[in-house]
């Protein structure tokens, strides 16, 4: 009886995953983020209410940056402070903060990168054993294909696993 219940749970889980995949594929087909896109409308409402300026991706740093870090989540504040620090000392760095990960808009990512970028480092807060790379890294690499940034080297790194703090020194090591 226990064995049958476990099998039913696994079967229900897999059925639900298939339904979610079908819905996700429908969302993925909506690759163009026009002005009337619901995601952008929601971001605009948030911005109006909170006085913020969130976009799908926000860039912070030198307008002529040669090295840019792409990340999402709380680490972006640490990266921003570190970018400010090194740029005051003459470096040309920046950070792209990802505010909406799925669906991923390659056009918006490319649109916020400085044309001078020569190196991109993508920081993920996950480890995907057996995968070719972490999810955000793979999406950034795919987004750059066929763009002006196709030849820019893209590196990957991880931060904050097991809820560990990410310090400015660790970000300096990336830059």
Is the pLDDT at 110 greater than 70? The verdict is yes
The pLDDT assigned to 77 comes to 95
State the CB neighbour count (10 A cutoff) for residue 16.
Answer: 10
pLDDT in tens, 5-36: 777 777 888 888 888 777 767 666 655 555 45
Q: What is the pLDDT of residues 54-103, one digit of tens each?
A: 999 999 999 999 999 999 998 999 999 999 999 999 999 999 999 988 87
Rounded mean pLDDT of 131-158? 95
| Choice among 13-27, 97-111, 131-145 with the minimum mean pLDDT | 13-27
Is residue 157 over pLDDT 90? yes
What does the alpha-carbon distance between residue 7 and residue 9 come to, in Å, rounded to a whole number? Answer: 5
What gap in Å lies between CA 137 and CA 130, rounded to an integer? 15
Q: Which pLDDT does position 20 carry in this prediction?
A: 79
Contact 155, 173 (CB under 8 A): no
Helix (H) or strand (E) holding 53: none
Give this prediction's pTM.
Answer: 0.80
Main-chain dihedrals φ then ψ at residue 89, nearest 5 degrees:
-95, 10
Does the pLDDT at position 171 exceed 60?
yes
pLDDT of residue 23: 74
């Amino acid at each position: 009886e226990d064995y049958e219940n476990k099998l039913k749970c696994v079967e229900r889980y897999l059925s639900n995953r298939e339904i979610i995949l079908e819905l996700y594929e429908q969302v993925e087909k909506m690759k163009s983020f026009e002005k009337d896109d619901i995601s952008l409308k929601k971001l605009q409402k948030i911005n109006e209410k909170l006085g913020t300026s969130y976009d799908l991706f926000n860039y912070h740093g030198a307008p002529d940056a040669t090295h840019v870090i792409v990340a999402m989540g709380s680490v972006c504040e640490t990266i921003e402070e570190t970018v400010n620090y090194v740029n005051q000392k003459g470096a040309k760095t920046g950070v792209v903060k990802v505010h909406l990960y799925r669906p991923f808009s390659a056009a918006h990512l490319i649109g916020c990168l400085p044309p001078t970028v020569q190196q991109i480092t993508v920081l993920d807060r996950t480890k995907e054993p057996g995968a070719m790379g972490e999810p955000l890294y793979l999406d950034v690499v795919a987004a750059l294909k066929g763009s002006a940034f196709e030849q820019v080297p893209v590196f990957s790194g991880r931060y904050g696993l097991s809820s560990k703090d990410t310090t400015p020194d660790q970000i300096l090591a990336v830059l």
